[in-house]
Amino acid sequence: MCGITGWISYDNDLTTRRTALEAMTATMACRGPDAAGLWLGTHAAFGHRRLAVIDIDGGKQPMTVEHDGRTVLVTTYSGEVYNYRELRAELTQLGHTFRTHSDTEVVLHAYLQWGEACAERLNGMYAFALWDPSTEQLFLIRDRMGIKPLYYHPTPDGVLFGSEPKAILAHPSVRPTVDAEGLAELITFTKTPGHAVYQGMYEVRPGHVVRVGRGGVTVKRYWALEAREHTDGLDATVAHIRDLLDDIVARQLIADVPLCTLLSGGLDSSAITALSAKALAAAGSGPVRSFAVDFTGYTENFRPDDLRGTPDGPYAHALAEHVGSDHRDIVLDTADLMDPGHRSAVLAARDLPNGFGDGDTSLYLLFKAVRERSTVALSGESADEVFGGYRWFHDPESVHADTFPWIAAGLSGRFAGGNATREALLDQALLGKLDLRGYQDGRYREALAEVPYLDSDTGLQRRMREISYLHLTRFVQILLDRKDRASMAVGLEVRVPFCDHRLVDYVFNTPWSMKTFDGREKSLLRAATRDVLPDQVADRVKSPYPSTQDPRYNEALRAGLKDLAADRDAPVRPLLDSRAVAEATAGGAVGDIRPGAELVLGMNEWLRTSGTTLEL
């Protein structure tokens, strides 16, 4: 995994602009701690920071293809193509020769053979740029599910691009500005595809190619979810899902560096860990290494709530013992979560204060500890979106609400460990201008208009196809972006087997009645993997990523909010409802301030350190 950036300028000679490219590339050092590289041409300049995972010696970038002493193609590439060996063999038969063993070189030759349609042949997580000197065209290509991020900023004579906004913002001509729509996008849980919050900046949409030429920028979709008739019976469906999972996990265990799994003790991560253990044992290279996050005293003092009914620890340990993994718990305390340095590192990683509070900090610290022992980790992320695991999938009120179901379920507050709204401490006049409800509604209508249907989709089946589509194209993007930023901030590559497009497409078209055939959430996944899991794990009720229950954390947030309220120079101050803040920080106050406090404390630090201007 790596960090990429670049600059296309048809009116300038970029061979003289090395300093600007170096500054942009330097912002990606966290994503690629192993090596740095630059390539400068007259109208194209690429930067690359490398995390070496496959072909340690031969995979240096930016990478070129030369012919008769001239450069015919250049790439700066981030990600993994899991079918690169098959593609390499096919391309070799077609006459291509290779000088490395990297998947990057396979992508270059795939473009030379098939043009931009090469993206349709790739299986993996990737975001890369290709510069074709013969046509003077740039291609920005992102994987089907949007696992790897990629942003771009059109300019009067070309474009700037990067794995993260910070790479683009490092260019001397770009100033970070956020307008009312951008702020609404930041606050709400909508994750509009293509929206980058910052003015003038865009995200390459999952499954899309952005082409840049002298005539401007054009966008083309190469993959999307489609509605198809599901003709397999239940047994055949379960068997096919298992076959897919076995193949996916085996492919994603390929690495030339230490590898592990992230294990929470839930069905998703346990299935990935168990299948990994099985595959590694078959290859004679086990045991699997696994890691879990925990909090000091969490299991002993756990209190069930409406999201989390059980602590993770006992289930993670049961699975680790069952498969014989080399397991470690990463135990955090409140001081770790409130440490200003850790919270600043998370904000720097995410570029925006749109996170999940202690959930982001604990994830960052987990990944930081894992990185000391492994370079690649497999995660159970996205199984809930694919198989229908969240509780609101099974709550009629949330399902039939005329909005995003996670918003109907009140999750925007509970993600931060509470039940209040994120906007609870913001000025009412500001909220009126932002019209968050109207913004959410507009994005919801846009999403619904994209949903593919079959003529046979009626009643609950039709609605559940919509619910699945909303999660696979919107909600999952929130979580994938969070995981990518937290992991790449410490140079850890996280792979997400449940995002393999073959599995996503197949399960998307499986009837809802089959997805819930045993009256439970994720029925198909449970049936497909039960044989490798202990019963207590296979039968465990869904429990989201843990959030600390230590009351000292809330107290620390309240103290931070009180300090902010007393700081007349705090940049977020004009955005706050002073009365709400006073009530939240008054002596003896016991109300739930966690979601709102996390947001405004993060916004204050963001505005103070990023130089961002709000144009509201």
Provide the Cα torsion 205, 410, 415, 601; round to 10°.
90
Contacts of 239 (CB under 8 A, 6+ apart): 528
DSSP strand pairing (124-132 vs 70-81) = antiparallel
- Please tell me what DSSP assigns to residue 426: B
Q: Where are the beta strands (DSSP E) in 150-279?
A: 151-155, 158-162, 177-179, 202-203, 208-213, 216-221, 259-262
Half-sphere exposure of 160 (CA within 13 A, CB side): 22
- DSSP lists the bridge partners of residue 39 as 46
Contacts of 49 (CB under 8 A, 6+ apart): 2, 3, 4, 25, 28, 29, 31, 32, 33, 35, 36
- DSSP lists the bridge partners of residue 591 as none
Is residue 2 annotated as part of the catalytic site, yes or no? Answer: yes
For residue 205, give Cα distances in angstroms to 129, 355, 365. Answer: 14, 20, 29
Helix or strand or coil: residue 412?
Answer: helix
Kindly give the residue spans of alpha helices, DSSP state H, lying in 30-170.
84-93, 103-114, 165-169
DSSP strand pairing (177-179 vs 63-67) = unpaired
> Among 273, 305, 304, which residue's Cα sits nearest to residue 289?
273
The tokens for 492 are 């850890």
Q: Where are the beta strands (DSSP E) in 51-85?
A: 63-67, 70-81
The tokens for 336 are 């770790």
The answer to whether the CB of 536 falls within 8 A of the CB of 318 is yes
Options 2, 30, 118, 499, the catalytic residue: 2
DSSP string, 519-565: SSTTHHHHHHHGGGS-HHHHTPPP-PSP----HHHHHHHHHHHHHHH
The 10 Å CB-count burial string (b at 16+, else e) for 384-407 is: bbbbbbbbbbeeeebbeeebbbbb
Q: Just list the catalytic residues.
A: 2
